[in-house]
Amino acid sequence: MFKELTQFYKIGKELGLKRSEINRIFLSSGKHSLLYKVMMVVIFAILTVVIVVAVVSVSKSVYPSGTLYSSVKLKDFTNKK
């Protein structure tokens, strides 16, 4: 998606448009542009929260990274008769 946006900016500059004019075309095209802007902010906020929660949950590991661990338990060593 980033590649396409940069191509749009290049095309706009070739047509003689300023960066602010190009941004205005992308951000205020249509009847419900305010609704789209609000939805984009909400979606961005939700994605940010999801990413932060995922990073925090991954970082709370039982074993530190690079540590070797075993699945042997104490009850494995009791004598079974």
Q: Could you tell me if 22 and 12 are in contact, meaning their C-beta atoms sit under 8 angstroms apart? A: yes
**Measured at the alpha carbon of residue 21, what is the angle toward residues 16 and 23, in degrees to the nearest 5?**
125
Q: Is the pLDDT of residue 44 over 90?
A: yes
Q: Domain ranges in the chain?
A: 1-47
Strand ranges, E, within the chain: none
pTM for this predicted structure: 0.40
User: 15 versus 27: which is more confidently predicted?
Assistant: 15
